Amino acid sequence: MLITLSDYQRIYSIAHAVLKSENSDTNRSCLFYNYCGAYILNNHYKIKAKVYSGFAAYHLGVENILGFGSIEDGTLKSSEDEFHSWIEADGWLIDFMAPEFPNIMLSKGYDSPIPRKMMQSRLINMADGPDNLKESGNFLVIPDMEVTKSLADHLESRPAFVDLVDICNRWFHKKPNKMHKSISISNGEGQLNQVSLSGIKSIVGRW
């Protein structure tokens, strides 16, 4: 693996805590989770990590397959309204939003228990089509470079988004170094909000 489960948990937890402090929908924040993760991987690990957006599908166990995008005339497609984002780095796929997948499935009406896991797998192990998403941990991602660039241009033009990613980067420390359990973030009106890692659920394994 590129990073340990413990460090993945730290990156996810920081992004999750900051999103919650901004009252964002953590089930629909793949861009922030993964831009934050890629920035940290580049800065703290010197890993060349890049965020891609497009169609994605993950097998979460039993009969649970979570898909992002659309299917038109048998073709897997994505758009700026229907997409998912993930990280590719050194031949690996990493998705820092994966611990939220159980919540997304619940929101879609699936009630079977799904464990909270990290997504970190070699790209060479990717399924070669949707019909081969047969086992837990199988995945399929199809980058759309136009969607990727359009979303990136939009986000990078938003100073608030860039500032929050930078806050996450400065908060993060790799193990065995200790990390602050909480930080203060300005709400833009001169007031400081306390952002805490307490109460964030643990991740139990890897897809």
End-to-end CA distance of the chain: 12
Asked if 76 and 144 touch (Cβ cutoff 8 Å), the reply is no
pTM: 0.94
Q: Nearest 5°: phi and psi at 51?
A: -90, 130
Q: Which of 6-20, 76-90, 122-136, 182-196 has the lowest mean pLDDT?
A: 182-196
pLDDT in tens, 44-89: 999 999 999 999 999 998 788 999 999 888 889 999 999 999 999 9
What residues are paired with 121 via a beta bridge? 93
Mean pLDDT value of segment 174-199: 87
pLDDT band at 156 (very low <50, low <70, confident <90, very high): confident
Domains of the chain, by residue range, sit at: 5-196
pLDDT in tens, 77-134: 999 999 999 999 999 999 999 999 999 999 888 877 899 999 999 999 999 999 999 9
pLDDT band at 171 (very low <50, low <70, confident <90, very high): very high
**Domain range 5-196, CATH class:** alpha beta
Cα 131 from Cα 155, distance rounded (Å):
34
Mean pLDDT value of segment 182-203: 86
Residue 204, classified by CB atoms within 10 Å of its CB into exposed (0-12), middle (13-18) or buried (19+), is: exposed
Average pLDDT of the chain is 93
Cis? peptide before 113, omega within 30° of 0: no
